[in-house]
Amino acid sequence: MQRNDRVNFGSKLGAILAAAGSAVGLGNIWRFPYEAGNHGGAAFILVYLACVFVMGMPIMIAEFTVGRHSKASTGKAFSVLAPGTQWKWIGFLGVLAGLLILGYYSVVAGWTLEYIVAALTGSFVDKTSADFVAIFQNFSQDPFRPLVWLLAFLLFTHFIVVKGVKDGIEKSSKVMMPMLFILIVVLACCSMSLPNAGKGLEFLLKPDFSKVNADVFLGAMGQAFFSLSLGMGCLSTYASYFGPDAKLGKTALSVGVIDTMVAIMAGLIIFPAAFSVGIQPDAGPSLIFITLPNVFQQAFGGVPFLATVFSLMFYVLLALAALTSTISLHEVVTAYLNEQFKLRRSRAAMLVTGFCLITGVLSSLSLGVWDDKILGLGFFDLLDFVTAKIMLPLSGLLVCLFVGWYLKRSLSYEELTNGGLQKASYFPLYMFILKYVAPVAIVLIFANELGLL
Ligand code: PFF
């Protein structure tokens, strides 16, 4: 596709919702609430807010700058902005990370579909805690069933991406994001009206500064990175579809605010319900697929219909959040194949879906029947480790260095002010963060995650 016949998002709202859709995902719902609750409640939230707004926003604006100025997907953008240099590797890193993440992320996303069906068919009614553990283990280790849902989820993603930027990504975000907001508000209100919900609120919101140490700081930064979809070129690919009048600073702020609000609201669903029935919430997949169905069953168990509706709404919420994120991951790779190799969009998307189906199947099997280890990890965990802990911070760091040190300052200024039409009084601070603060912070996250600190 040539630079001038590129499709753009049809509206500024569409652009914001699509980018927010990428950011809001499984990371907001199962990881943030647990991290916050266990690391000092409101104290963690304050640290997290600082990470999002001081570090996350500038990096997001930097990704937007790369995308909109190059008018190319991330795989090509760096070659357009810095032809003949090695900076092109940042783009390849993003494409590869997107491809690898999509495989294992879709496995978990597929589980949400199984749980939607289970909620709908009343399979959770009258079950004990032990039953919920068994249900999850039997399902996730089954060699066949999760693969059906993986395929279904990848096909949903595939068809939306094939429909294109305006009719697929933008339109679906405009439908799914409002649904997601409504569901999350309704669920949070129901959860907070349960008896003893106050204890859960206290767990999430009561500040305990004694728990804030360097580890918490670094954990919050890593979480902010993953949650805002930074370091993978998703947002820079989406920004290549922004119109000339889109305001980069404002869009980044909206995405940051939406993403953070969804994360906090997820905590307002999970903790009041868990504390109301006296169950200590835990982390990760077991929280959303073992603990929560049990919590919902007990919390609303007196009225099985209510428990069913609540569980159903929760898993639909998760599926929507995951889908808007998988779409953005898929788009990074599809757009690259489409632009770089001039493949038709449908063919490019087919290749991506096919590849992710293979990595997804391997990831899923590695949780059950396939117990070989690679570098001491199962395939699923290996993909998670390599992408989230290595590729993501590395490419985030390189983006900071690229925009902070390599790109002309005037080019960044022009993008932020839309050619001088808008004010951007924060520009010197933004550049300072990109040049110095963010790179140092990312190196620290990196070292911490690899256990070097
Ligand atoms: N931000 C998504 C989440 O919080 O679940 C995950 C994600 C999507 C990360 C897209 C990176 C990405 F490029």
**183, 317 Cβ separation under 8 angstroms:** yes
Cβ atoms within 10 Å of 421's Cβ, excluding its own: 9
Instruction: Kindly state if the Cβ of 227 falls inside 6 Å of ligand 1.
Output: yes
Find residue 320's DSSP bridge partners.
Answer: none
Q: Return d(Cα 8, Cα 77) in angstroms, integer.
A: 16
Instruction: Kindly state if the Cβ of 22 falls inside 6 Å of ligand 1.
Output: yes
pLDDT-above-70 percentage for the chain: 98
- Per residue in 120-136, pLDDT (tens digit) is 998 998 888 899 999 99
Q: Return d(Cα 396, Cα 391) in angstroms, integer.
A: 8
Ligand 1 atom showing the smallest separation from residue 97 Cα? 13
SS3 377: strand
Q: What pLDDT was estimated at residue 298?
A: 86
Domain map of the chain by residue range?
3-19+41-175+219-262+324-449
Nearest CA to 135 out of 322, 250, 291 is that of: 291
Which residue out of 93, 234, 391 has the highest number of ligand 1 atoms within 8 Å of its CB and is therefore the one to mutate? 234
- Per residue in 290-314, pLDDT (tens digit) is 888 988 888 887 788 889 999 999 9
Q: Which of the four pLDDT bands, split at 50, 70 and 90, describes residue 2?
A: very low
Burial class (CB in 10 A: 0-12, 13-18, 19+), 63: buried
Nearest CA to 315 out of 114, 126, 125 is that of: 114
Q: Give mean pLDDT, residues 349-365.
A: 97
Q: What pLDDT was estimated at residue 5?
A: 57
Ligand 1 atom showing the smallest separation from residue 328 Cα? 10
pLDDT-above-90 percentage for the chain: 71
Query: 10-19, 267-276, 335-344: lowest mean pLDDT where?
Result: 267-276
Could you give the dihedral angle defined by the CA atoms of residues 181, 185, 188 and 189, in that order, rounded to the nearest 10 degrees? -170
SS3 210: helix
Which residue out of 31, 64, 226, 259 has the highest number of ligand 1 atoms within 8 Å of its CB and is therefore the one to mutate? 226
Mean pLDDT of the chain: 92
Ligand 1 atom showing the smallest separation from residue 392 Cα? 11
Which residue out of 64, 99, 101, 236 has the highest number of ligand 1 atoms within 8 Å of its CB and is therefore the one to mutate? 101
SS3 22: helix
Q: Give mean pLDDT, residues 6-21.
A: 93
pTM of the model: 0.94
Q: Which of the four pLDDT bands, split at 50, 70 and 90, describes residue 1?
A: very low
256-285 burial, b for 16+ CB within 10 Å, e for fewer?
A: bebbbebbbbbbbbbbbbbbbbebebeeee
Instruction: Kindly state if the Cβ of 23 falls inside 6 Å of ligand 1.
Output: yes
Cα 29 to middle of ligand 1, angstroms? 12
Cα 28 to middle of ligand 1, angstroms? 9
Q: Give mean pLDDT, residues 168-174.
A: 96
Q: What pLDDT was estimated at residue 3?
A: 44
Q: Give mean pLDDT, residues 353-360.
A: 97
